[in-house]
Structure 1
Amino acid sequence: MRTVGNDLVRHQLHENRKWYLGLGIVLTLFGLVLLASLPFATLSVVFLFGILMMIGGILHFVAAFKIFEGGTRWLWALFGVLYLVAGYYAFSTPVKTAVVLTNLLAIVLIVAGIIRIFSAIIFKAYQGWGWILFSGLLTLITGIIILMSPDASFWVLGLFLAIDILFQGINYLTLASYIKHEVPQSSADV
């Protein structure tokens, strides 16, 4: 019985390998294009943020009037208004939104770096604490560089998006290659 399940999984992997390959190529190319045009990529992030905030606002309104009752209803409706305002702000002032989001990202990186450094100090007696310290220092320095760079809001968010999409593409290409070279064909494919 286990062999039938394994054959089915192998068959599905080989059947979908071309989709993984195609998606990998598209995402890799898209990531490279975004790397070449970081201000455009940053604006894409800002507009995506705006869309998600507006969707969140609508969902909060739906929840307020379809799920909740009494005082909590109005609290959810207030959250819906705040989400919609944030989404509108992202669309109407994308550069300011990019500055705000970039500064928030830098602050989060600085706080995360400090927490990792303290964690490394606490776990100094354990093997591998040096990697935690290194990670904390790197995260802290990255946050400081972003916060100190006057033009960071024009490229940082785009860089994060471009690198994420590029690595997703590489991941799919690697999966397609692995399936082709390492996963044996099922008996149904032979």
Structure 2
Amino acid sequence: MTDHVPSSTEITETLHDNWVWFLILGIVLIIVGVFAVAAPLASSIAVTLVLAIALIVGGAAQAIQAFRVQSSSAFIWHLLVAIAAILGGIAIYIHPLIGTLALTLVVAAVFLMQGIFQLLLGLNLRRNKGWLWIVGAGAVSILVALMIFTGFPASAVYVLGILAGVAIAFNGWSYVAIALAAKNVEPAI
């Protein structure tokens, strides 16, 4: 089996030939993203349920793998991690609102840590152009984290849904942009 890496010409031709489908995909994603932002509680719970299912399926796969290599000295650890993932996924699935609360705190903590690291990185790069953008991004991440923490638990109602909705909508816009650019490109002969 050979690995074929498509050339930029092949990619351009594929985009040009399928630009309408990319446009439709983009529009659908924008609509879904707007819906997610407009219904943040439902979206937050949906994100939580998807994570719960991912934990259950991933934990089951890890349990199967643990039994496949049971002669290994790490068998018990693989099995314990698998059981923890399955039980965590089931607990989140049964109590999605509590899972949403927990995930919101995790998101806030990630924003806080990311912001601190970006701030420190930006300050270390003061001699380079663009360092203020990194400091600014860090400050925004810290501000978002503080907004989530200070608004908790009410912030759990909307944080995950809005983040998911914005990400989906921006993905949609990127497909629309690709589609419109590909529409006007003449493929190479």
Please confirm whether the aligned pair reaches a TM-score higher than 0.5, indicating the same fold: yes
Q: Return 5+ residue gaps in structure 1 as ranges.
A: none
Cα distance, 1:184–1:51 mapped onto 2, change above 3 Å: same
1:6-45 correspondence to structure 2 within 5 Å = 8-45=10-47
Q: In the alignment, which residue of structure 2 is the partner of 1:165? A: 168
How many Å apart are 1:60 and its aligned residue? Answer: 0.8
Q: In the alignment, which residue of structure 2 is the partner of 1:102? A: 104
Q: 1:59 aligns with which of 35, 58, 61?
A: 61
Cα-to-partner distance string for 1:34-87 (whole Å, 9 max, x where unaligned): 111010100110001001101110111111011352331111111110000110
Cα distance, 1:10–1:114 mapped onto 2, change above 3 Å: closer
Number of residue pairs matched by the alignment: 182
Structure 1 stretch 108-117 or stretch 36-45: which is displaced more?
A: 108-117
Query: Which amino acid in 1 is paired with 2:131?
Result: W
2:81 and 2:28 map into 1 onto residues whose CA distance is 37
How many Å apart are 1:9 and its aligned residue? Answer: 4.2
How many Å apart are 1:91 and its aligned residue? Answer: 0.8
Cα distance, 1:39–1:73 mapped onto 2, change above 3 Å: same
Q: What is the aligned-residue RMSD (CA, Å)?
A: 1.7
How many Å apart are 1:144 and its aligned residue? Answer: 0.7
Query: Which amino acid in 2 is paired with 1:46?
Result: T
How many Å apart are 1:12 and its aligned residue? Answer: 2.3
- 3-state DSSP of counterpart to 1:77: helix
Q: In the alignment, which residue of structure 1 is the partner of 2:178? A: 175
Q: Is the counterpart of residue 126 in structure 1 residue 128 in structure 2? A: yes
Q: TM-score w.r.t. structure 2 length?
A: 0.89
Q: TM-score w.r.t. structure 1 length?
A: 0.89
Query: Which amino acid in 2 is paired with 1:166?
Result: A
Q: In the alignment, which residue of structure 2 is the partner of 1:114? A: 116
1:171 and 1:130 map into 2 onto residues whose CA distance is 26
1:59 and 1:172 map into 2 onto residues whose CA distance is 33
1:75 and 1:6 map into 2 onto residues whose CA distance is 45
How many Å apart are 1:134 and its aligned residue? Answer: 1.0
- 3-state DSSP of counterpart to 2:71: coil
Cα distance, 1:185–1:117 mapped onto 2, change above 3 Å: closer
2:125 and 2:13 map into 1 onto residues whose CA distance is 47
Cα distance, 1:64–1:185 mapped onto 2, change above 3 Å: same
2:70 and 2:121 map into 1 onto residues whose CA distance is 41
Q: In the alignment, which residue of structure 1 is the partner of 2:72? A: 70
1:111 and 1:100 map into 2 onto residues whose CA distance is 17
How many Å apart are 1:15 and its aligned residue? Answer: 2.2
Cα distance, 1:132–1:14 mapped onto 2, change above 3 Å: closer
Residue identity (%):
24
